[in-house]
Amino acid sequence: MSVRLMQGNLACAEAALAAGCRFYAGYPITPSSEIAEHLSRRLPELGGVCIQMEDEIASIAAVIGASVGGLKAMTATSGPGFSLMQENIGYAAMAEIPCVVVDVQRTGPSTGLPTSPSQGDMMQARWGTHGDHPIIALSPSSVREAFDLTVKAFAFSELYRTPVLLMMDEVVGHMREAIELPAQVEVVERPHTDVPPEWYYPYEAGGADVPPLVPFGMGFRYHITGLFHDRAGFPTERIDEIDPWLKRVNAKIERNLGRILMYALDGVEGARTLVVAYGATARSARHAVGMARARRHKVGFVKLLTVWPFPVEVLAEAAQGVRTVVVPEMNLGQIALEVERVVGRGRVRRVNRADGQMITPAEILAAIEEH
């Protein structure tokens, strides 16, 4: 493949196809619409389906349905649509249906600034749907990462039978950079069962973290519900069925952190100051770190690619011996709360903007140099 200039949204759409996505349902919204536009052309070419639904609630419902039917499925939206999708994201977590939800974040609350970037949905990604549920959220900072993390999002959703959120932002979604698309990507297929249909239980994991999900329509009869359910998927109120389920679905993420947590450490050893950033802000942060090092400051940099589950141990180790941890975000302080939880409030210096503008390297440099 040759080098092409490509937008983050297109890289995401192309990555979905490469990962085997064959179903997209969505409702167009800036700044995510190019994903739907591109897939509306490309999916039919590949024998897939692209549907414009009446709203975002229907969009994610269709995606969940397609996934139960055996297709890898995705939707893409922005803040207002992401809010509407929350209940069904919980349903997918509860029923353990793999799906990928892309949120190209724009400035909120409400319809906010449709064409301006933000990272204001990061806490919503973790706790936007109610109840104690497992979730994985990834955040790319370049066109190349938009591609790679979309592929990962599909892999994780299939491996762990869970919704995976790709938390982009307007900058990464609309930014164009050169990218050489890989000829092949690591495609993860849904684990299949070898038990006969009459013995199959969709929620019986045995000793494993995740039971295999057999698509509807293949002769394996089972039930799906948002209620707490037994191994066959039928509603239950038995504590001896509820508690083990809760523990297992949360443990399936916790026990696989080694695979799920993606991050990049740069110059962390011996650093006096640590900068922790993700998404487009990681670009500003890396620029600022370069400026600071040119001025002989000992600055380490942690770029988070996986934001949820939060990399507690990674950060705790990186912050050892560090005096100050600078956390820039295009919000009023969301992931900073997690960093504070890990390293202690007194050591964290926040740099925040929620006015639709990217945080500049100079603003982060000022925080690095502040005494």
Partner 1 sequence: MVGRIEVRLAGEGGQGLILAGVILAEAAAVHDGLHATQTQSYGPEARGGASKSEVVISDEEIDYPKVIEADYLLAMSQEACDRYVGNLRRDGLLIVDSTHVTRLPLDRQAVQAPITRLAEEATGRRITANVVALGVLVGLTGVVSRQAIEKAVRERAPKGTEDLNLRALAAGLDWAEQRRRPAASPGGAASR
Q: Which residues bind partner 1 (CB under 8 A)?
A: 3-5, 30, 114-116, 171, 174-178, 280, 283-284, 286-287, 290, 358, 360-362
Asked if 193 contacts 166 with a C-beta cutoff of 8 angstroms, the reply is no
CB 7 to partner 1: min, Å: 9
CB 248 to partner 1: min, Å: 42
CA distance 283 to 289: 10
Among residues 245 and 301, whose Cβ is nearest to partner 1? Answer: 301
Q: Where are the alpha helices (DSSP H) in the chain?
A: 8-18, 33-45, 56-68, 79-95, 122-127, 143-160, 170-174, 239-254, 257-260, 281-294, 312-318, 335-343, 361-369
CA distance 54 to 50: 13
3-state secondary structure of 352: strand
Among residues 3 and 183, whose Cβ is nearest to partner 1? Answer: 3
Among residues 135 and 280, whose Cβ is nearest to partner 1? Answer: 280
Q: Any idea of the CA torsion for 21, 23, 28, 33, to the nearest 10 degrees?
A: 20
> What distance, in Å, lies between the first and last C-alpha atoms of the chain?
49
Burial class for 158, CB neighbours closer than 10 Å (0-12, 13-18, 19+): buried
CB 151 to partner 1: min, Å: 22
> Which residues make Cβ contacts (< 8 Å) with residue 17, sequence separation at least 6?
39, 42, 43, 46, 48
Among residues 143 and 339, whose Cβ is nearest to partner 1? Answer: 143
Among residues 210 and 289, whose Cβ is nearest to partner 1? Answer: 289
Q: Give the β-pairing of 163-169 and 49-52.
A: unpaired
CB 300 to partner 1: min, Å: 16
The C-alpha R_g of the chain, in whole angstroms, comes to 21
CB 360 to partner 1: min, Å: 7
CA distance 299 to 266: 9
CB 301 to partner 1: min, Å: 10
Chain position carrying tokens 């849904």: 190
CB 345 to partner 1: min, Å: 28
Among residues 88 and 273, whose Cβ is nearest to partner 1? Answer: 273
Among residues 70 and 114, whose Cβ is nearest to partner 1? Answer: 114
